Amino acid sequence: MKVDGVTKTVCGYAGGSATPTYASVCRGDDNVEAVHVEFDDALIAADAVLDAAFDCAKPSLNKRQYNPVVFVSGAADMAIVDAWRRKERRRADGLASTTFKVETATQFYVAERYHQGYWERWRPRYALLAFVVIAQTFATDLLGDLGNTAATILAVGIAAQTCYERLFDTDVAPIPIVPLSAESESPVVEQVS
């Protein structure tokens, strides 16, 4: 989702123990999968950023990892988010803005590199896998077992690359959460998974 005025987004974790990893979050270390959002408040208001996050959130209310949480750095930010929540927006799937929790947090931990730009990286992989499935049918008809073997090797290579990417890419770095005030660059952290 592209939103005018949003200058940067980073996937990560917030709200729990220090130095989380995807594995520790999945095991329930009390962190929430989150997105650090930086925006130009001359182009977009904090309310509009929260609206965009609300529109695309896919929370799971029974697992902390996927809870809809807005992390703030202090009382001023809390007031902004509380005012937004009180508007009581409701989506067709039943999710209400009042479902979003507001928590104070001081650190946001950048997720492993394989989580960043996920759709941009995975779109070509999905297309390639679809191509392999289709090509495997024709390759087998044209080249027999050799075509089938080549297509299988390509599919296994794509899967192996994905597994190794997760295995070796485990760096997680902290980013301090700063206020939503007009004087700052206005980062906000929002769960949107």
Report which secondary-structure segment, H or E, holds 75: helix 75-85
**Does 183 lie in the same domain as 95?**
yes
**Does 90 lie in the same domain as 24?**
yes
Answer whether residue 157 is part of any domain.
yes
**Does 176 lie in the same domain as 163?**
no
Give the pLDDT band (50/70/90) at residue 183: very low
CATH code at 100?
A: 3.30.1060.10
- Top pLDDT among 188 and 4 is at 4
Would you list the DSSP string of 124-184?
Answer: HHHHHHHHHHHHHHHHHHHHTHHHHHHHHHHHHHHHHHHHHHHHH----EEEE-----TTS
Answer whether residue 135 is part of any domain.
yes
Answer whether residue 19 is part of any domain.
yes
**Does 37 lie in the same domain as 81?**
yes
Give the pLDDT band (50/70/90) at residue 186: very low
Q: What is the pLDDT of residues 90-120, one digit of tens each?
A: 999 888 988 899 998 878 888 887 777 766 6
- Top pLDDT among 152 and 81 is at 81
In the predicted structure, residue 180 carries a pLDDT above the cut 60: no
**Does 90 lie in the same domain as 20?**
yes
Cβ atoms of 181 and 46 within 8 Å: the answer is no
**Does 137 lie in the same domain as 51?**
no
Please list, in sequence order, all residues whose beta carbon lies within 8 angstroms of the beta carbon of residue 103, skipping any fewer than 6 positions away: 15, 69, 70, 71, 72
In the predicted structure, residue 5 carries a pLDDT above the cut 90: yes
Give the pLDDT band (50/70/90) at residue 190: low
Paired tokens of 180: 């939503």
**Does 77 lie in the same domain as 149?**
no
**Does 160 lie in the same domain as 133?**
yes
Paired tokens of 81: 């988010």
Answer whether residue 1 is part of any domain.
no
**Does 130 lie in the same domain as 63?**
no
pLDDT number for residue 187: 47
**Does 53 lie in the same domain as 148?**
no
Residue for token pair 């959460």:
177
Which residues partner with 187 through β-bridges?
Answer: 38
Give the pLDDT band (50/70/90) at residue 44: very high
What's the domain range around 138?
117-168
pLDDT number for residue 106: 76
The pLDDT > 70 percentage for the chain reads 70
Give the pLDDT band (50/70/90) at residue 126: low
pLDDT number for residue 182: 44
**Does 130 lie in the same domain as 184?**
no
pLDDT number for residue 6: 92
pLDDT number for residue 103: 92
Q: How many domains does the chain have?
A: 2
**43, 80, 181, 188 from 76: Cα distances, Å:** 20, 7, 8, 13
**Does 97 lie in the same domain as 149?**
no
